[in-house]
Amino acid sequence: MLKNILSPGECDTLSSLIDSSDNIVVCCHVNPDGDALGSCLGWAEFLRSRGKEPQIIIPDQYPDFLQWMPKTEMVIRYDKHKVEADELISCADLVFCLDFNQLSRTDAMAASLTDSHAPKVMFDHHLGPDIDCVLCVSRPEMSSTSEMVFRIVWQMDGFKMMTSRFAAPIYCGMMTDTGGFTYNSNSSETFFIISQLLTKGINKDKIYRNVYNNYSESRLRLIGYVLYKRLVVMPEQHASFFVLTRQDLCRFNFVKGDAEGLVNMPLQIKGMKLSISLREDTEKNNTIWVSLRSVDSFPCNKMAEMYFNGGGHLNASGGRLLCSIDEAVEITRDAILNFESTLK
Ligand code: 5GP
């Protein structure tokens, strides 16, 4: 049986907030991943079962390999429909913030969310929650925000009303945030949840293929190129990094999501503890997206905070540098060398 995630008081607060709200907005962080989008879609499905018509607003595009999820056609992109989205946010009487801990993680949407007078509810599994909320459910020990949504729905006795439209995005969010259940997923309760989701008729093998085996030929060639030409291994520090320049991305017809998972690959090298990817933005100059992955107890979130204007989890973090790719390489080398003693 699952342990409750909300206290009885929090459960009552959440229930009455939902019941008393007519204009509900559900949103997630910039560059939505499987967990961000999956948790929003799953939570919205639950809200619909409570007679609500929530609007899901996301800051920008999600990768194509998430397009198959049910009801993605209802999702509103802030970067494409700013006027409509601002109007929905300003009229909202309840805002759910899913899978992020600071409003700045929603990029251009942050101003609109800050101005909104609607009470906010946060469900998130990142460290350091920092949003002014009437209800802040922050559980860094959870595999994913999707797992949190499942548990909340379960506790609110809503799961029996749910169909595969809930189960599929929740499963996808859990799967992607645990690298296909290869990390952060050693709890028997995680597998109890999966067993319940399967009762709703989802096909987990197909979901895996939809997400992980649904790329273009160019993406595979990009990976080959990066590993051959761009990977820098620092064996003494048990660390490695690679750059993806705009030119590389253009050459291999990069589309959003093509770099997904690439940063994990250098960790396949024996003894490797840290892998960092530096990806130039395809449009904005001097904007480098940084991803960090580590094994064991190496705190990539600390490194992301100190060197890359970011944060995240112990073993998976991200950030952003506003500089040239050459400067980003220098910063990365410095970061690795300064963390040398922790890496050894
Ligand atoms: P990714 O490398 O997949 O973009 O991100 C890995 C993890 O770090 C995700 O959990 C993501 O939410 C988190 N993350 C990515 N960028 C940032 C950032 O700028 N700030 C914080 N606090 N977390 C981030």
Q: Low-confidence residues of the chain, pLDDT below 50? A: none
CATH number of the CATH domain containing 101: 3.90.1640.10
**Cβ of residue 293 lying under 6 Å from some atom of ligand 1:** no
Same domain assignment for residues 190 and 304: no
Residue nearest to atom 6 of ligand 1 (CA): 317
Same domain assignment for residues 152 and 236: no
Among residues 247, 329, 239, which one has the least CA distance to residue 292? 239
Same domain assignment for residues 117 and 181: yes
Where among 150, 179, 212 does a domain terminate? 212
Same domain assignment for residues 203 and 232: no
Query: How many Å lie between the centroid of ligand 1 and the Cα of residue 109?
Result: 17
Where among 181, 212, 243 does a domain terminate? 212
Residue nearest to atom 16 of ligand 1 (CA): 318
Give residue 143's pLDDT.
93
Give the position, in ligand 1's atom list, of the atom nearest the Cα of 128.
Answer: 22
Same domain assignment for residues 90 and 186: yes
Query: How many Å lie between the centroid of ligand 1 and the Cα of residue 301?
Result: 9
Decide if 93 is inside a domain: yes
Residue nearest to atom 2 of ligand 1 (CA): 291
Asked if 324 contacts 312 with a C-beta cutoff of 8 angstroms, the reply is no
**Cβ of residue 276 lying under 6 Å from some atom of ligand 1:** no
Same domain assignment for residues 296 and 247: yes
Distances (CA, A) of 241 to 80, 179, 238, 329: 33, 19, 11, 9
**Cβ of residue 313 lying under 6 Å from some atom of ligand 1:** yes
**Cβ of residue 318 lying under 6 Å from some atom of ligand 1:** yes
Same domain assignment for residues 179 and 312: no
Give residue 344's pLDDT.
85
Residue nearest to atom 17 of ligand 1 (CA): 318
Partners of 289 in beta bridges: 279, 320
Decide if 289 is inside a domain: yes
| Residue 285 backbone phi and psi in degrees, to 5 | -70, 150
Two tokens, residue 234: 């620092």
Decide if 338 is inside a domain: yes
CATH number of the CATH domain containing 241: 3.10.310.30
**Cβ of residue 178 lying under 6 Å from some atom of ligand 1:** no
Distances (CA, A) of 236 to 13, 15, 166, 230, 278: 53, 54, 47, 18, 21
Query: How many Å lie between the centroid of ligand 1 and the Cα of residue 318?
Result: 4
With a cut of 0.90, is the ipTM above it?
A: yes
Same domain assignment for residues 290 and 192: no
Residue nearest to atom 18 of ligand 1 (CA): 310
Domain region containing 266:
217-343
Two tokens, residue 213: 């085996």
Residue nearest to atom 13 of ligand 1 (CA): 312
When divided into structural domains, the chain yields a total of 2
Give residue 321's pLDDT.
98
**Cβ of residue 319 lying under 6 Å from some atom of ligand 1:** yes
Decide if 1 is inside a domain: no
Same domain assignment for residues 140 and 281: no
Distances (CA, A) of 322 to 1, 121, 259, 271: 47, 31, 19, 31
Same domain assignment for residues 73 and 148: yes
Decide if 130 is inside a domain: yes
Residue nearest to atom 22 of ligand 1 (CA): 311
Give the position, in ligand 1's atom list, of the atom nearest the Cα of 317.
Answer: 8
**Cβ of residue 291 lying under 6 Å from some atom of ligand 1:** yes
Query: How many Å lie between the centroid of ligand 1 and the Cα of residue 310?
Result: 7
**Cβ of residue 316 lying under 6 Å from some atom of ligand 1:** yes
Same domain assignment for residues 12 and 100: yes
**Cβ of residue 63 lying under 6 Å from some atom of ligand 1:** no
Site to substitute for ligand 1 among 317, 320, 321, 322, most atoms within 8 A of C-beta? 317
Decide if 2 is inside a domain: no
Give the position, in ligand 1's atom list, of the atom nearest the Cα of 277.
Answer: 2
Burial degree of 306 (CB within 10 A; 0-12, 13-18, 19+) = middle
Where among 188, 212, 236 does a domain terminate? 212
Decide if 245 is inside a domain: yes
**Cβ of residue 32 lying under 6 Å from some atom of ligand 1:** no
